[in-house]
A and B are shown apart, each in its own frame.
Chain A
Amino acid sequence: MAYFIQQLVNGITLGSIYGLIAIGYTMVYGIIGMINFAHGEIYMIGAFLSVLTFTMLGVTGVTWIPLALIMVLLVAMLFTSAYGWAVERVAYRPLRGSHRLAALISAIGMSLALQNYVLLTQGPGVKAIQPIIRGGISLYERGNFTVTLSYVQIFIILLTVVLMAIFATLIARTALGRAQRACEQDRGMATLLGINVDRTISLTFVMGAMLAAVAGLMVTLYYGVIDFFMGFVAGLKAFTAAVLGGIGSLPGAMLGGMLLGLVEAFWAGYFSVEYKDVASFGILVLVLIFMPTGLLGRPDIEKV
């Protein structure tokens, strides 16, 4: 039981990170119908920026943790969103209106390029930082096994909840959110009604990149180890999460991320660490067979 609760906590933490990345995929897919393959790389860049900023703060002597966290969050979000914007502007916008595969190949190329760009500029080695947030709460003790909820986990889960709330308000209440939903439904009509579609799509990428940067920060805090290749598997998982939840649906992305995080944590805890990726893709296949549009996705209307 104690072990179960511990895996539950770990799974929710992991799921929050996946969910935040998955939102970037699902928003882009919803609005322009393409798989933004480079999104995993954006998350990786977010993690690198977090490590860089932490290092700089450490050298300059900012030691008050809340201030440091806020500064890192802002810096990482700002610069990562610049990358998200630039990727869309350079590699995807010129291909809008051409066939789907062209954009996909362009995205794969961009993903390769970004990965190797970071490899070249930051070096191939693993970057490790000291744990920033230490300690935790013991929830439950039995025998020699203690269930701990570390402060990092609390921080990650709380930050995810806060971001989700901000995000949901943004989509539901603001003009930008309305424009995004309009573009998702019918881009041509949205243009006719005076919505700047290009700008809306750019902002969608910026928002996705910001959330990915937060996920990058979280993973830096949680594991403390990053490398240039981390974006690929994380991106794959997050996309799986988005599909699992029903692609195009924002709550679905979060739900899918949570589900994937839990499956992975429990599988790693009870069966084998090596096959956890197999388990998550297996779940994906099972869900898609029985619910072809994902958990919360809308069924497609087939038109002749």
Chain B
Amino acid sequence: MTAVFTAFKEAGLASLVAFLLALPLIGFRTNTTGTGLNFEFRWEALVVSVVIVFVGRCVLTSTRGLWQQSRLHLPSFGYLRSVIDRRRVSFAVIVVLVALLFPFMPEVDRRAIDLATLVLIYVMLGWGLNIVVGLAGLLDLGYVAFYAVGAYTFALLGTVYDWSFWGCLPIAGAVAAMFGVLLGYPVLRLRGDYLAIVTLGFGEIIRVVLTNWVALSGGPNGIAGIPRPTLFGLEFTRRTREGHSFHEYFDLPFSGDHRITFLYYVILILALVTNVFVLRIRKLPIGRAWEALREDEIACRSLGINPVNTKLSAFALGAMFGGLAGAFFASRNGFISPESFTFIESAIILSIVVLGGMGSQIGIVLAAAALILLPEALREFSEYRMLVFGLAMVLVMLWRPRGLLAHRKPTLTLYPSGSRTLK
């Protein structure tokens, strides 16, 4: 009896708060009319929202016990983690095989391949940012700036000088890395949160400059007609001047799907290269130094690791992969404008890294798929899409604060794991 009473009391309090919150913004709405503003009172919406909160709170309170009991028996992400850990190699092979065969699977249409390409761009960005955030432990809120630098580098070289995608790719990466060093050198001495805000500011600066420097970037209109990637010089268009198009060379009927599939493979290869690079560099002295620096900077300094250079290398490499992904993005879309490089992109990429469990490569794949496919799945409720997206970000963090596949243990420990707990 008391339990029911408590549940109702809690629900009553919650709905009181909900009423306070909903009254001014859901209950009333200001409308612009010819003579100025007027307002309408929407009591139905108000009542509905308060009732939803009341019922929701009742359900939550009454099922809390059940949920806690049942959670122990559900196959949790911890279980998944341990499976992945035990069968690391075979798991990786399976994932790569599935990714390679994906375009030829039944039921996979053009749209699905296109979406998969988008997911892979974010996977690559996530893996790139993971070097900075997951391995080196530096909080970067302006990663999209490097993505933009890469995209604009290729867009400009491609449209002004007619350079090809493959020739520009390393240049885009190098330019982005250079920007990473330029930004990083003065600010990497700062502590975590200062670094976060400076990178955030840097991201905004790049966007503002791209919007306003019309002579260079075309301003808000962006750059159109960016060349597509080619397969050893073979283009994926219906007609080319020299007759060097993919379908003519291989004597196939022309199909737009070829280009989509080709783009998918390009980004898959780029992403895999990123992954292999990160996995290998973690085992080099510089990778070890990143992780050591993340765990304890003072200890690192006393052991003769130069923190600025070490952080700078992480920053530059992360930026480089952002630039590569940006060049691919520009080439895939054929059109870029500053609107594609807003803060929300940085936030999504960072969320992918954190949701993935900071440092877990496969976690990032899962998180990228979830975060990119969720808004797509909600497309029908387009109005509520971003609201649900934001709430989902909060809920997932409340549910698993350490990410889907929490994995932050250093790759190298002095003691066998379990004998000593790390922070």
Report how far A116 CA is from B25 CA in the complex, Å: 12
Which of the listed residues A58, A59, A91, A123 has the most CB atoms from chain B within 10 Å of its own CB?
A91
A-contacting 9-mer, from B122-130, B152-160, B189-197:
B189-197
* A101-B202 in contact given A82-B21, A121-B26 (Cβ < 8 Å): no
Q: Are A95 and B21 in contact (CB under 8 A)?
A: no
Report how far A304 CA is from B198 CA in the complex, Å: 26
Which of the listed residues A48, A106, A108, A121 has the most CB atoms from chain B within 10 Å of its own CB?
A108
Question: Could you say which residues of chain A place their CB within 8 Å of the CB of B204?
Answer: 236, 277, 281
Q: Are B37 and A274 in contact (CB under 8 A)?
A: no
Q: Per-position contact with A for B124-154: 1 when CB-CB < 8 Å, else 0?
A: 0000000001000001000000000000000
* A275-B391 in contact given A95-B401, A129-B36, A288-B194 (Cβ < 8 Å): no
* A109-B187 in contact given A48-B25, A302-B298 (Cβ < 8 Å): no
Of B17, B30, B197, which one neighbours A51 at CB under 8 angstroms?
B30
Q: Are A111 and B200 in contact (CB under 8 A)?
A: no
Report how far A90 CA is from B191 CA in the complex, Å: 28
Report how far A122 CA is from B358 CA in the complex, Å: 37
Of B29, B36, B194, B358, which one neighbours A243 at CB under 8 angstroms?
B194
Q: Are A275 and B32 in contact (CB under 8 A)?
A: no
Question: Could you say which residues of chain A place their CB within 8 Å of the CB of B45?
Answer: 121
Q: Are B355 and A127 in contact (CB under 8 A)?
A: no
Does A68 count as interface, using CB distance less than 8 angstroms? no
Interface size class of B (residues with CB under 8 A): 35 or more
Does A45 count as interface, using CB distance less than 8 angstroms? yes
Report how far A129 CA is from B46 CA in the complex, Å: 25
Report how far A301 CA is from B187 CA in the complex, Å: 19
Of A51, A106, A112, A116, which one neighbours B37 at CB under 8 angstroms?
A51
Q: Are B389 and A112 in contact (CB under 8 A)?
A: yes
A246 to chain B, nearest CB (A): 10
Report how far A129 CA is from B238 CA in the complex, Å: 55
* A49-B24 in contact given A59-B39, A101-B358, A274-B208 (Cβ < 8 Å): yes
Q: Are B205 and A277 in contact (CB under 8 A)?
A: yes
* A243-B393 in contact given A95-B398, A98-B401, A116-B386 (Cβ < 8 Å): no
* A99-B191 in contact given A112-B389, A117-B387 (Cβ < 8 Å): no
**What secondary structure prevails in chain B residues at the interface with A?**
helix
Report how far A131 CA is from B287 CA in the complex, Å: 59
Report how far A90 CA is from B100 CA in the complex, Å: 42
Does A300 count as interface, using CB distance less than 8 angstroms? yes
Of B36, B139, B299, B391, which one neighbours A101 at CB under 8 angstroms?
B139
Question: Could you say which residues of chain A place their CB within 8 Å of the CB of B391?
Answer: 109, 113
* A113-B390 in contact given A79-B23, A236-B200, A236-B204 (Cβ < 8 Å): yes
Of A82, A122, A285, which one neighbours B20 at CB under 8 angstroms?
A82
Q: Are A285 and B298 in contact (CB under 8 A)?
A: no
Does A5 count as interface, using CB distance less than 8 angstroms? no
A39 to chain B, nearest CB (A): 13
Q: Are A90 and B26 in contact (CB under 8 A)?
A: no
* A102-B36 in contact given A236-B204, A247-B193, A278-B208 (Cβ < 8 Å): no
* A109-B28 in contact given A55-B38, A278-B209 (Cβ < 8 Å): no
Question: Could you say which residues of chain B place their CB within 8 Å of the CB of A110?
Answer: 390, 394
Of B25, B26, B209, B397, which one neighbours A102 at CB under 8 angstroms?
B397
Report how far A111 CA is from B394 CA in the complex, Å: 10
Q: Are A275 and B21 in contact (CB under 8 A)?
A: no
Does A139 count as interface, using CB distance less than 8 angstroms? no
Question: Could you say which residues of chain A place their CB within 8 Å of the CB of B384?
Answer: 116, 120
Does B212 count as interface, using CB distance less than 8 angstroms? yes
* A281-B401 in contact given A55-B39, A274-B212 (Cβ < 8 Å): no
A217 to chain B, nearest CB (A): 14
Question: Could you say which residues of chain A place their CB within 8 Å of the CB of B201?
Answer: 236, 240, 281, 284-285
Residue of A nearest to B42 (CB): A121
* A106-B397 in contact given A55-B38, A121-B29, A277-B204 (Cβ < 8 Å): yes
Question: Could you say which residues of chain A place their CB within 8 Å of the CB of B397?
Answer: 95, 102-103, 105-106, 109
B100 to chain A, nearest CB (A): 32
Q: Are B354 and A102 in contact (CB under 8 A)?
A: yes
Question: Could you say which residues of chain A place their CB within 8 Å of the CB of B202?
Answer: 281, 285
Q: Are A112 and B390 in contact (CB under 8 A)?
A: yes
Q: Are B390 and A116 in contact (CB under 8 A)?
A: yes
Q: Are A243 and B197 in contact (CB under 8 A)?
A: yes
Q: Are A45 and B205 in contact (CB under 8 A)?
A: no
Report how far A108 CA is from B396 CA in the complex, Å: 12
Does A83 count as interface, using CB distance less than 8 angstroms? yes
Q: Are A278 and B25 in contact (CB under 8 A)?
A: no
Report how far A125 CA is from B384 CA in the complex, Å: 17
Report how far A110 CA is from B205 CA in the complex, Å: 24
Q: Which of B364-405 contact A (CB under 8 A)?
A: 383-384, 386-387, 389-394, 397-398, 401-402
Task: Give 3 closest A-B pairs by Cβ, nearest first.
Answer: A109-B393, A113-B390, A112-B390
Task: List 7 additional contacts besides A82-B17, A102-B354; criterion CB under 8 Å.
Answer: A48-B25, A55-B36, A95-B398, A105-B351, A113-B394, A120-B384, A125-B32
Q: What are 20 A-B pairs at a CB distance below 8 A? A: A52-B39, A55-B36, A55-B38, A79-B21, A101-B358, A106-B393, A109-B390, A114-B390, A117-B25, A119-B386, A120-B383, A126-B32, A239-B197, A240-B201, A272-B212, A274-B208, A274-B211, A275-B212, A285-B201, A292-B189
Interface residues of A (CB under 8 A from B): 29, 35, 45, 48-49, 51-52, 55-56, 58-59, 75, 79, 82-83, 86, 90-91, 94-95, 98-106, 108-123, 125-130, 232, 236, 239-240, 243, 247, 272, 274-275, 277-278, 281-282, 284-285, 288-289, 292, 300, 302, 304
